[in-house]
Amino acid sequence: MLEIEDLTVAYGQRRALEGVSLSVREGEIVTLLGANGSGKSTTLRAVSGLVRPQRGRVVYRGRDLRDLTADAIVAAGIGHVPEGRDVFGDFSVRENLLVGAHTTPRREVDARLAAAYAAFPVLRERQGQRAGTLSGGEQQMLAIARALMARPRLLLLDEPSLGLAPRLVREIFRVIERINRDGVTVLLVEQNARRALALAARGYVLETGRVAVAGPSAALAADPRIRAAYLGMSGPAIRSS
């Protein structure tokens, strides 16, 4: 579904990515792990057209995305939930969802709103409420629901558990699992390596803008060298679900 080949991205004189290559197959959950500043968010931003690579290709379902605008990439079937959620705080929940439907044919908007409310009942209850007054977990659900309004085939999720209490982290990961079961492929950037590897089929570890190691999640979770060197984890191996 998604092939990233030799991707290089720079911010001014600083190289954020240097020759990154990875793939995501249809129906998978694939996770990107690594320390802050390793290039995880930049990888997602390059896929969604928010930054332009200096070199390399981003190919989605056989189509090179390099010359497409961010709106055209959304229309092609890629949704992006950025780090920090970025909901419009002064807009209502419903208005935020409508922003997510800006590439959607008008005749389909009501049905997609209904689907969002069915998937996230708390948003139906809060649909007239200003998004900035929602809890962190509710804002994250809103950000995900907003991205799903465009009916993506591939969903890019950047740190969905960031800043959330453990109970809400568990709920967000259940939401991601349900979205994937419903047929949406997921590329997940996540600080919680333990949960990410338990959820994903495969993983890539980035280090200073390069892919340091890649493989099935179970293998990454079980390798003590990888756990210590790249994931900052010790103790028993993680069991992949």
The label of the residue with tokens 């994250």 reads 140
Sign of the dihedral defined by the CA atoms of residues 22, 26, 30, 32, in that order? positive
pLDDT at 236: 47
Average of per-residue pLDDT across 68-81: 94
Read off the pTM.
0.90
Report all structural domains of the chain as residue ranges with CATH numbers, in order of start: 2-87+153-229 (3.40.50.300)
The label of the residue with tokens 């809890």 reads 135
In the chain, the amino acid numbered 174 is: R
Query: Cβ distance 151 to 183 under 8 Å?
Result: no
Lowest mean pLDDT among 19-28, 38-47, 171-180, 216-225: 216-225
B/e letters for 209-222, b = 16+ CB within 10 Å, e = fewer, are bbbebbeebbebbb
**What are the pLDDT digits (tens) for 203-227?**
999 999 999 999 999 999 888 877 7
Mapped onto helix, strand or coil, the DSSP state of residue 170 is: helix
pLDDT at 224: 82
pLDDT at 229: 66
DSSP letters for 13-35: TEEEEEEEEEEE-TT-EEEEE--
